[in-house]
Structure 1
Amino acid sequence: MAEDPKIELFIKASDDGESIGNCPFSQRLFMILWLKKVAFTINTVDMKRYPRLSARYKESMTAGYSVFQKFSAYVKNPLPEKNQACETAFLKALVELDQYLNTPLPHEDGSYPSKRLFLDGNELTLADCNLLPKLHVVQVVCKHYRNFTVPKELSGLCRYLNNAEKCEEFMNTCPNEEEIKLAYRNVAKYSDRYGAKSVTGR
């Protein structure tokens, strides 16, 4: 007989590095698991002992911040007459992210475009953990429902996405694409009614 899956909840540790810290999102999961009477274990993570994951530059943490917001407005828009404006705003957010990825960071040699692998340098950081899952959803949903792919002209963004696809930490944690499509099936169904145009190659 197969054993029940073991569930481990990793949550932010408090200042003492051991007890449960202040994190509403972790507490929410903690409560849900408890209410459902699911067997699980708690592991507190001392964030101060993991500086390697922290971004060196605060700008890296906010780069691409508006992409998912503009994407949501674009893909969920039910009004054909507003589609062009939503598409333009979404593309502008992608361009801004591309510009950040192509602009050399202070520790680089200053040559343009930057050749760094990720948002903050050549190592994955929390900034990438925040952004890459959202970009994955953006890619899958836009390609399937809007016939949209990231323009090749956005070389920094394309480089970033290609580098991410070489990382097992990213690729092995991506959900199945069919699950993503299913999650957006109802909210993105309007695109088929008026044939959203691809902006690839602009």
Structure 2
Amino acid sequence: MLGKAPTLGVASTSSLTVAKNLRCDSLESLVLYRRAFNCGLLTQLFGERGVRSRVLLQKRKIASTRIVSMAEALDVCVKAATGVPDKLGDCPFSQRVLLTLEEKQVPYNTKLIDTSNKPDWFLQISPEGKVPVLKIDDKWVPDSDVITQILEEKYPEPPLATPPEKATVGSKIFSTFIPFLKSKDPNDGTEQALLNELRALDEHLKDNGPFINGEKISAVDISLAPKLYHLKVALGHFKKWSVPEELTYVRDYMETLFSRESFLRTSPPDEQYIIAGWFPKVNP
């Protein structure tokens, strides 16, 4: 209980203390404030202009959410599982786009593309035959970098943009994972190169976690999550290798990412699809 509201527009010291400890970041919170305290207390806390601006900001956010929920579903072409064309496949760049759509709660229709037997209609919209491709504003847009940037601009809530100084954290992990996965020489330095990148990520998360940009997930996490999942599954299968236990922040980070509902909804339904995708690269 918030206690008895002060009368005659004069806020008591105890009421002010309680109110300042409450979060005023939603329209519902402001409504509760108005019910619990009179306008004099709100004005003392935020000023009349501050109260109005908070209400207006929340109304805009709610309106933006309603627009997204009412929006026509976007068509997105992604890779189908190798040998199982009716199942979601193992492309980390496709999953990056799906994760962005999920985190922003943008409705979408998934079109699975058998990359070993690409249909003519797909080659017409993606002449290079690459996935993912997203249809937005009646145009088919390729490249996960471009797609996610457009989604951020068109659907700004919730914001997922990562500050430039953190946007490249972990960016070399995938490019060092692949040589190690393919390597047949245990002394060629590929494992050490990957470990160096993972240790750098561990140090960053130690000081900035639980996500790369702090408390909330952002675009850099969404890009890295599918790649770390491929690392976990592929290296575990082909090399019986896992992230060292001493890299506790990386291991916790991976567990946090992989347990998100958005990740579970956009991952291949079976790890075998990831293994099948990497098999011809590991054993050419």
TM-score (norm 2): 0.47
Is structure 2 residue 254 aligned with structure 1 residue 161?
yes
Q: Deviations over 1:29-62 (max 9, x none)?
A: xx9636279xxx933456335161111x323321
Structure-2 residue corresponding to 1:99: 203
Structure-1 residue corresponding to 2:152: 47
| Superposed counterparts of 1:170-189, under 5 Å | 170-175=263-268, 176-189=270-283
Structure-1 residue corresponding to 2:124: 35
Give the partner amino acid of 1:47.
E
1:7–1:92 CA distance, 2 compared to 1 (3 A): same
1:35–1:173 CA distance, 2 compared to 1 (3 A): same
CA shift, 1:9, in A, is: 3.7
CA shift, 1:97, in A, is: 1.1
Q: How many residues align?
A: 150
CA shift, 1:189, in A, is: 3.6
SS in 2 for 1:53: coil
Q: State the structure with bigger RCO (CA 8 A, min sep 6), 1 or 2.
A: 1
Is structure 2 residue 224 aligned with structure 1 residue 131?
yes
Structure-2 residue corresponding to 1:150: 243
TM-score (norm 1): 0.64
Structure-1 residue corresponding to 2:75: 8
Structure 1 segments (4+ residues) deviating >4 Å: none
Aligned mates of 1:32, 1:99 — CA distance in 2: 47
Is structure 2 residue 167 aligned with structure 1 residue 61?
yes
Aligned mates of 1:178, 1:170 — CA distance in 2: 17
Structure-2 residue corresponding to 1:196: none
Give the partner amino acid of 1:147.
K
1:77/1:83 contact within 8 Å kept: no
Structure-1 residue corresponding to 2:181: 75
Identical aligned residues as a percent = 24
Aligned mates of 2:227, 2:216 — CA distance in 1: 19
2:74/2:136 contact within 8 Å kept: no
Q: Deviations over 1:41-88 (max 9, x none)?
A: 933456335161111x3233211111111111111124x2x6451111
1:148–1:184 CA distance, 2 compared to 1 (3 A): same
Aligned mates of 2:76, 2:279 — CA distance in 1: 30
Point out the structure with the larger helix share.
2
Q: Unaligned regions of 5+ residues in structure 1, if any? A: 1-5, 12-30, 105-115, 191-202
